Amino acid sequence: MKLHYYGHSCFALDTGGLFVLVDPFIQQNEAASSVDVSSLRPSQILLTHGHEDHVADAEVIANQSDAELIAPYEVASWFSSKGVKHVRPINPGATFSLTGGGDTVEVRCVGASHSSTLPDGSPGGVATGYLLECCGTRVYHAGDTALTPEFDLIGRLWSPDVAILPIGGTFTMSYAEVPAAMDMLDCRHVVGMHYDTFPPIAIDTAEATRTVEAAGGQLHLPGISEVLDIPF
Protein backbone atom coordinates (compact mmCIF):
# COMPACT_ATOMS: atom_id res chain seq x y z
CA MET A 1 0.00 0.00 0.00
CA LYS A 2 0.95 3.62 -0.35
CA LEU A 3 0.40 6.60 1.93
CA HIS A 4 0.14 9.99 0.22
CA TYR A 5 0.76 13.16 2.25
CA TYR A 6 -0.94 16.44 1.32
CA GLY A 7 0.14 18.56 4.28
CA HIS A 8 -0.99 19.25 7.85
CA SER A 9 -3.15 16.21 8.75
CA CYS A 10 -4.26 15.23 5.25
CA PHE A 11 -3.29 11.78 4.03
CA ALA A 12 -4.63 9.28 1.52
CA LEU A 13 -4.39 5.52 1.83
CA ASP A 14 -3.89 4.11 -1.65
CA THR A 15 -4.46 0.37 -2.04
CA GLY A 16 -4.55 0.39 -5.83
CA GLY A 17 -8.29 -0.21 -5.89
CA LEU A 18 -9.24 2.36 -3.24
CA PHE A 19 -8.01 5.89 -2.53
CA VAL A 20 -9.20 6.90 0.94
CA LEU A 21 -8.60 10.56 1.77
CA VAL A 22 -8.49 11.79 5.38
CA ASP A 23 -8.95 15.37 6.66
CA PRO A 24 -8.44 17.49 3.51
CA PHE A 25 -7.06 20.95 4.34
CA ILE A 26 -5.09 21.97 1.28
CA GLN A 27 -6.14 25.20 -0.45
CA GLN A 28 -5.87 27.26 2.75
CA ASN A 29 -2.51 25.70 3.63
CA GLU A 30 0.27 27.75 2.04
CA ALA A 31 2.72 24.87 2.46
CA ALA A 32 0.49 22.71 0.23
CA SER A 33 0.16 25.22 -2.61
CA SER A 34 1.73 22.73 -5.03
CA VAL A 35 -1.17 20.28 -4.56
CA ASP A 36 -3.84 20.47 -7.26
CA VAL A 37 -7.09 19.87 -5.38
CA SER A 38 -9.04 19.60 -8.64
CA SER A 39 -7.08 16.45 -9.51
CA LEU A 40 -8.05 14.56 -6.35
CA ARG A 41 -10.61 11.82 -6.97
CA PRO A 42 -10.83 9.78 -3.76
CA SER A 43 -13.12 6.81 -3.42
CA GLN A 44 -14.03 7.90 0.12
CA ILE A 45 -13.31 10.86 2.41
CA LEU A 46 -12.91 10.34 6.15
CA LEU A 47 -13.13 13.31 8.52
CA THR A 48 -11.92 13.03 12.11
CA HIS A 49 -13.70 16.14 13.44
CA GLY A 50 -15.14 19.46 12.35
CA HIS A 51 -12.34 21.99 12.70
CA GLU A 52 -11.66 23.94 9.52
CA ASP A 53 -8.05 22.76 9.29
CA HIS A 54 -9.40 19.24 8.80
CA VAL A 55 -12.47 19.77 6.62
CA ALA A 56 -11.84 22.89 4.51
CA ASP A 57 -11.67 21.08 1.16
CA ALA A 58 -14.03 18.22 1.95
CA GLU A 59 -17.07 19.68 0.22
CA VAL A 60 -15.37 20.57 -3.06
CA ILE A 61 -13.52 17.25 -3.26
CA ALA A 62 -16.63 15.24 -2.41
CA ASN A 63 -18.64 17.04 -5.08
CA GLN A 64 -16.01 16.75 -7.83
CA SER A 65 -15.29 13.07 -7.14
CA ASP A 66 -18.73 11.83 -6.05
CA ALA A 67 -16.90 10.24 -3.10
CA GLU A 68 -18.74 9.12 0.00
CA LEU A 69 -18.01 11.44 2.93
CA ILE A 70 -17.78 9.63 6.27
CA ALA A 71 -17.62 11.64 9.49
CA PRO A 72 -18.88 11.93 13.08
CA TYR A 73 -22.64 12.44 13.17
CA GLU A 74 -22.76 16.22 13.61
CA VAL A 75 -20.05 16.81 11.02
CA ALA A 76 -21.71 14.49 8.52
CA SER A 77 -25.08 16.16 9.08
CA TRP A 78 -23.53 19.59 8.47
CA PHE A 79 -22.08 18.52 5.13
CA SER A 80 -25.36 16.87 4.17
CA SER A 81 -27.14 20.18 4.83
CA LYS A 82 -24.65 21.85 2.43
CA GLY A 83 -25.69 19.50 -0.37
CA VAL A 84 -22.98 16.84 -0.30
CA LYS A 85 -24.71 13.82 -1.85
CA HIS A 86 -23.12 10.76 -0.32
CA VAL A 87 -22.73 11.14 3.44
CA ARG A 88 -22.35 8.47 6.10
CA PRO A 89 -22.67 9.59 9.75
CA ILE A 90 -20.79 7.52 12.31
CA ASN A 91 -19.35 7.80 15.81
CA PRO A 92 -16.65 6.00 17.83
CA GLY A 93 -17.36 2.27 17.90
CA ALA A 94 -18.43 2.12 14.27
CA THR A 95 -16.84 -0.58 12.12
CA PHE A 96 -17.38 -0.87 8.38
CA SER A 97 -15.82 -2.09 5.15
CA LEU A 98 -14.84 0.03 2.16
CA THR A 99 -14.70 -1.87 -1.11
CA GLY A 100 -13.65 -1.02 -4.63
CA GLY A 101 -11.31 -2.04 -7.39
CA GLY A 102 -11.04 -5.51 -5.93
CA ASP A 103 -9.75 -4.20 -2.60
CA THR A 104 -11.30 -4.00 0.86
CA VAL A 105 -10.29 -1.66 3.69
CA GLU A 106 -11.68 -2.44 7.12
CA VAL A 107 -12.29 0.73 9.13
CA ARG A 108 -12.83 1.24 12.84
CA CYS A 109 -13.73 4.65 14.29
CA VAL A 110 -12.12 5.33 17.68
CA GLY A 111 -12.23 8.21 20.14
CA ALA A 112 -9.82 11.14 20.36
CA SER A 113 -9.21 13.68 23.12
CA HIS A 114 -9.97 16.98 21.41
CA SER A 115 -12.74 19.50 20.75
CA SER A 116 -14.84 19.77 17.59
CA THR A 117 -16.74 22.68 16.08
CA LEU A 118 -17.71 23.29 12.45
CA PRO A 119 -16.31 26.20 10.42
CA ASP A 120 -19.46 28.25 11.11
CA GLY A 121 -19.10 27.72 14.87
CA SER A 122 -21.82 25.10 15.27
CA PRO A 123 -21.11 22.10 17.51
CA GLY A 124 -19.19 19.29 15.82
CA GLY A 125 -19.84 16.47 18.29
CA VAL A 126 -16.96 14.24 19.31
CA ALA A 127 -13.46 14.10 17.84
CA THR A 128 -12.34 10.77 16.43
CA GLY A 129 -9.54 8.79 14.84
CA TYR A 130 -9.56 5.84 12.44
CA LEU A 131 -7.94 2.44 12.21
CA LEU A 132 -7.67 1.29 8.60
CA GLU A 133 -6.64 -2.25 7.72
CA CYS A 134 -5.89 -3.74 4.32
CA CYS A 135 -3.79 -6.74 3.27
CA GLY A 136 -2.78 -7.44 6.86
CA THR A 137 -1.44 -3.92 7.53
CA ARG A 138 -3.07 -1.63 10.09
CA VAL A 139 -2.73 2.15 9.87
CA TYR A 140 -3.95 4.40 12.68
CA HIS A 141 -4.80 8.04 11.90
CA ALA A 142 -5.27 9.61 15.32
CA GLY A 143 -6.84 12.86 14.16
CA ASP A 144 -6.28 15.70 16.61
CA THR A 145 -5.73 14.29 20.09
CA ALA A 146 -3.86 14.65 23.32
CA LEU A 147 -1.95 11.70 24.73
CA THR A 148 -4.91 9.59 25.78
CA PRO A 149 -5.68 6.25 27.47
CA GLU A 150 -7.41 5.37 24.19
CA PHE A 151 -3.92 4.59 22.85
CA ASP A 152 -3.51 1.79 25.39
CA LEU A 153 -6.79 0.20 24.31
CA ILE A 154 -5.85 0.49 20.64
CA GLY A 155 -2.46 -1.08 21.31
CA ARG A 156 -3.87 -3.99 23.31
CA LEU A 157 -6.63 -4.81 20.86
CA TRP A 158 -5.29 -3.86 17.43
CA SER A 159 -1.55 -3.06 17.56
CA PRO A 160 -1.22 -0.80 14.48
CA ASP A 161 1.77 -1.19 12.18
CA VAL A 162 1.86 2.55 11.46
CA ALA A 163 0.59 5.36 13.70
CA ILE A 164 -0.06 8.80 12.20
CA LEU A 165 0.13 11.12 15.21
CA PRO A 166 -0.07 14.88 15.78
CA ILE A 167 3.27 16.15 17.09
CA GLY A 168 2.98 19.95 17.11
CA GLY A 169 1.72 20.50 20.66
CA THR A 170 -0.43 23.46 21.79
CA PHE A 171 -3.70 22.03 20.45
CA THR A 172 -2.67 18.36 20.48
CA MET A 173 0.00 16.10 21.91
CA SER A 174 3.62 17.01 21.15
CA TYR A 175 6.53 14.99 19.84
CA ALA A 176 7.84 14.71 23.42
CA GLU A 177 4.89 12.41 24.14
CA VAL A 178 5.42 10.17 21.12
CA PRO A 179 7.62 7.66 23.05
CA ALA A 180 4.81 7.09 25.54
CA ALA A 181 2.30 6.82 22.69
CA MET A 182 4.48 4.21 20.93
CA ASP A 183 4.56 2.07 24.05
CA MET A 184 0.80 2.34 24.54
CA LEU A 185 0.05 1.65 20.88
CA ASP A 186 2.67 -1.13 20.59
CA CYS A 187 3.91 0.61 17.44
CA ARG A 188 7.43 1.67 16.46
CA HIS A 189 6.68 3.50 13.19
CA VAL A 190 5.17 6.97 13.59
CA VAL A 191 4.26 9.39 10.81
CA GLY A 192 4.12 12.94 12.14
CA MET A 193 1.31 15.37 11.33
CA HIS A 194 -0.22 18.61 12.59
CA TYR A 195 3.05 20.51 12.95
CA ASP A 196 4.76 23.53 11.33
CA THR A 197 1.57 24.65 9.52
CA PHE A 198 1.09 27.64 11.86
CA PRO A 199 3.47 29.34 14.33
CA PRO A 200 1.81 27.86 17.47
CA ILE A 201 2.62 24.33 16.25
CA ALA A 202 6.12 24.95 14.89
CA ILE A 203 8.65 22.38 16.12
CA ASP A 204 12.32 21.45 15.91
CA THR A 205 12.04 18.47 13.55
CA ALA A 206 15.59 17.32 14.23
CA GLU A 207 14.92 17.21 17.96
CA ALA A 208 11.62 15.42 17.33
CA THR A 209 13.42 12.76 15.28
CA ARG A 210 16.09 12.29 17.96
CA THR A 211 13.43 11.98 20.66
CA VAL A 212 11.60 9.20 18.85
CA GLU A 213 14.74 7.36 17.79
CA ALA A 214 16.07 7.44 21.36
CA ALA A 215 12.93 5.60 22.41
CA GLY A 216 13.48 2.88 19.80
CA GLY A 217 11.07 4.21 17.21
CA GLN A 218 11.23 5.79 13.79
CA LEU A 219 9.63 9.14 13.00
CA HIS A 220 8.66 9.62 9.35
CA LEU A 221 8.16 13.24 8.27
CA PRO A 222 7.14 13.17 4.60
CA GLY A 223 7.24 16.23 2.40
CA ILE A 224 4.15 17.61 0.68
CA SER A 225 2.95 15.18 -2.01
CA GLU A 226 5.49 12.58 -0.89
CA VAL A 227 4.31 8.98 -1.15
CA LEU A 228 5.37 6.41 1.46
CA ASP A 229 5.32 2.67 0.91
CA ILE A 230 3.81 0.82 3.86
CA PRO A 231 4.41 -1.25 5.84
CA PHE A 232 7.87 0.19 6.39
User: Dihedrals φ, ψ of 78, to 5°?
Assistant: -65, -45
CB count within 10 Å of CB 63 equals: 15
229 in any annotated domain: no
83 in any annotated domain: yes
106 in any annotated domain: yes
36 in any annotated domain: yes
Residue 184 carries which side chain, given as an amino acid letter?
M
Tell me the H-state helices in the chain.
52-55, 58-65, 73-81, 150-157, 178-185, 205-214
Q: What is the pLDDT of residues 134-148, one digit of tens each?
A: 999 999 999 999 999
19-22 and 44-46 beta bridge pairing: parallel
Q: Which among 199, 168, 223 has a CA at the least distance from the CA of 35?
A: 223
**Omega before 231 cis (within 30°)?**
yes
Q: What is the pLDDT of residues 40-93, one digit of tens each?
A: 999 999 999 999 999 999 999 999 999 999 999 999 999 999 999 999 999 999
- pTM for this one? 0.98
The pLDDT value recorded for residue 141 is 99
177 in any annotated domain: yes
Of the pLDDT bands very low, low, confident and very high (cuts 50, 70, 90), residue 6 is very high
Percent of the chain with pLDDT over 90: 100
40 in any annotated domain: yes
228 in any annotated domain: no
Domain tally, the chain = 1
Given phi > 0 = left and psi -120 to 50 = alpha, else beta, which region is 24? Answer: beta
212 in any annotated domain: yes
User: What's the CATH number where 133 sits?
Assistant: 3.60.15.10
Domain that holds residue 208: 2-223
